[in-house]
Every structure is written in C-alpha cells, then in structure tokens.
C-alpha cells in the first residue's frame, strides 16, 4: 500500500549499509511484535519470536535489497521463523469458495436489517465486540486480518509475506470479516439493539 522509496545505501550497489540496519528496521518493532503475537497467541513466545526475527534479520541484512520495504521483509522473516520454531498445528478452518467475495457477508447485512440491526454502528460502541471477535478468530484468518486490516498491507503484500496465492488472501480475509460481522451482530442483539423491522430502511436482497 505504501509507495515509499527507502533510502539507497550506495548508488553503485544494491547492498544496504550495516549502519542502516537499526534505523531501517527498529521503527517496525511494534508492528512485528503485534504480528508475532497474532502468530503465537502468547506474549512470552511472541517476544521470543520478535527477538529471533531481528537477530535473523541482522544476520541476513546483506540479502536485503536497498530500496525495498523493510517492514514486509521483517514480516516474512517473522513468519518463516515462527514456522521453524514451532510445529505448525493444523487447527485450521478451511476457507470455502463461498467466501471468495463479499456476497455472503452482504447477505448477513440483509438479515441484520431485517432484524432491526442495520443501525448498530450508530447505536453501539462496537469496539469491545470487535476486539473480542478478532481475538477469537481461528488461524489462518486471524493472521490475514492482522496483516491487511491492522497492519495495512495490501492483498499482494500479505500474499508475499505468507507465501500464498492472492486468492487465498482474499478468501481468508473475507471469511475473517464475515466472522467478525457475525460476532458483532450477535453482540448487538444481546445488547438489545433492535429497531422494529417496520422502522428500518428497506434493504432488499442482492438484486436491483
């Protein structure tokens, strides 16, 4: 998403200066820490992962192409380090083709309006529900959501960090958002946020 051009170390060489390592990588420490926490789900393990990530980055600094995005590079190292440090458990929710686009989520909006929940963003502080819903997301959807919606990576950048196809990024992200929306609607319903269906503006099904 960022078009920032990173400082070139040397006009005649693509190798970065060793002295630039900390200045170019440490500003991303907080983001890497959050990403590491999304992978490990445990603060202590996340801190270990962050430390190992920066050590590996320092050792491999000569491979970093000056002018490229150090944050994306760090995220890729973090993920690969995580996969090496831990055996990946297959506690995954498989993305189905039905989340290849926004249609399933929009149908959720249609149902919400029918239930009088269409104005929930105006009627509720949704932040606690959003935080809780994100925390409950299963992998790999949690990591994708963190990368795109919280860290601001584009679909393409997230695909590069995770080494997965673009279509996989889309389906996992859209499924994550649908799960968050479902949780938010349940929260709103529990909070008693409902207008009578007759008061709600009509929103038809997906058809002109």
Partner 1 sequence: MPTRLTHSVPVDCETVVRALWAYIDRELSDEERAAVDAHMAECDHCRAHNDFERRLVQSITALRADVREPDELRDRVLDALRRARTEGEGEGEVG
**Where do contacts with partner 1 occur on this chain (CB under 8 A)?**
22, 26, 29-31, 33-34, 47, 50-63, 77, 80-81, 84, 101-103, 105-106, 109, 112-113, 118, 121, 126-127, 130-131, 134, 145, 148-152, 154-155, 170, 173-174, 177, 180-181, 184, 201, 203-204, 206-208
CA 41, CA 107: separation in Å to the nearest integer? Answer: 31
DSSP 147: I
Name the minimum Å distance from CB 149 to partner 1. 5
DSSP 42: S
Residues with Cβ within 8 Å of residue 67, at least 6 apart in sequence: 5, 6, 8, 14
Q: Please report, for residues 3, 72, 146, 152, the alpha-carbon distance to residue 68 in angstroms, rounded to integers and kept in the order given.
A: 10, 9, 21, 17
Name the minimum Å distance from CB 8 to partner 1. 20
Name the minimum Å distance from CB 3 to partner 1. 13
Measured from the CB atom, the residue of 72 and 177 that comes closer to partner 1 is 177
Name the minimum Å distance from CB 195 to partner 1. 14
Q: Is 13 helix (H, G, I), strand (E, B) or coil?
A: strand
Measured from the CB atom, the residue of 105 and 115 that comes closer to partner 1 is 105
Name the minimum Å distance from CB 52 to partner 1. 8
CA 33, CA 39: separation in Å to the nearest integer? Answer: 10
CA 189, CA 99: separation in Å to the nearest integer? Answer: 24
Measured from the CB atom, the residue of 148 and 161 that comes closer to partner 1 is 148
Measured from the CB atom, the residue of 126 and 191 that comes closer to partner 1 is 126
Measured from the CB atom, the residue of 59 and 89 that comes closer to partner 1 is 59
Length of the chain measured in residues: 208
């Amino acid at each position: 998403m960022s078009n920032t051009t990173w400082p070139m170390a040397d006009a005649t060489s693509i190798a970065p200066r060793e002295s630039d390592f900390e200045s170019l990588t440490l500003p991303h420490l907080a983001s890497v820490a959050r990403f590491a926490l999304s992978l490990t789900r445990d603060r202590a393990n996340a801190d270990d992962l962050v430390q190992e990530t920066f050590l590996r980055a320092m050792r491999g600094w000569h491979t970093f192409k000056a002018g490229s995005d150090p944050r994306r590079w760090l995220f890729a190292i973090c993920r690969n380090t995580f996969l090496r440090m831990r055996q990946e458990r297959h506690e995954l929710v498989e993305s189905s083709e039905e989340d290849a686009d926004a249609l399933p989520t929009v149908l959720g909006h249609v149902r919400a309006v029918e239930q009088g929940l269409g104005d929930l963003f105006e009627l509720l502080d949704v932040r606690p529900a959003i935080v809780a819903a994100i925390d409950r997301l299963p992998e790999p959807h949690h990591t994708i959501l963190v990368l795109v919606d919280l860290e601001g990576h584009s679909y393409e950048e997230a695909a590069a960090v995770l080494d997965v196809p673009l279509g996989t990024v889309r389906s996992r992200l859209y499924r994550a958002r649908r799960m968050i929306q479902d949780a938010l609607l349940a929260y709103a319903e529990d909070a008693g946020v409902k207008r009578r269906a007759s008061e709600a503006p009509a929103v038809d099904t997906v058809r002109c």
